[in-house]
Amino acid sequence: MIKTMRGLKIANKQRGFFFFDEKMMRIFDSIIETDLSVAGEVGFFVSSEKCRTTNTRLYTIRKALLDSGGIYGKGFEDSFRTLDEAKEEMERQIEQEKEK
């Protein structure tokens, strides 16, 4: 089971996913803003991307499947304007996951 951001990046690439691919991160001007936080079988982290239409950086909570390295999270429609807001919501979601 994946337990670190480094392990997640390796697993994601080994399984043919491109979330952490350097070229893709450059295209979306992506930054990994937090470390991986593990709750059960799910990992959480915040990434930020610059929205090209508004030139605004938005922060998105990402969930990682710790058995496969897959990443999911909604796009800009479910993003936050500040890193602090995203971190606060991520902590809430981690607590919810722990209660399952």
State the amino acid at position 39 in one-letter form. A
pLDDT given for residue 82 in this prediction:
97
- The closest of 70, 25, 72, 71 to 50, measured between CA atoms, is 25
7 to each of 27, 28, 40, 42, 52, how far by Cα in Å? 23, 22, 16, 13, 30
Total structural domains in the chain? 1
Q: What angle do CA 98, 31, 63 make, to 5 degrees?
A: 25
The model carries a pTM of 0.92
Query: What is the predicted pLDDT for the residue at 73?
Result: 78
Residues of the domain holding 67: 5-99
| Type of residue at 19 | F
Written as tens digits, the pLDDT of the chain (100 aa) is 899 999 999 999 999 999 999 999 999 999 999 999 999 999 999 999 998 888 899 999 999 999 999 998 766 667 999 999 999 999 999 999 998 8
Contact 49, 58 (CB under 8 A): yes
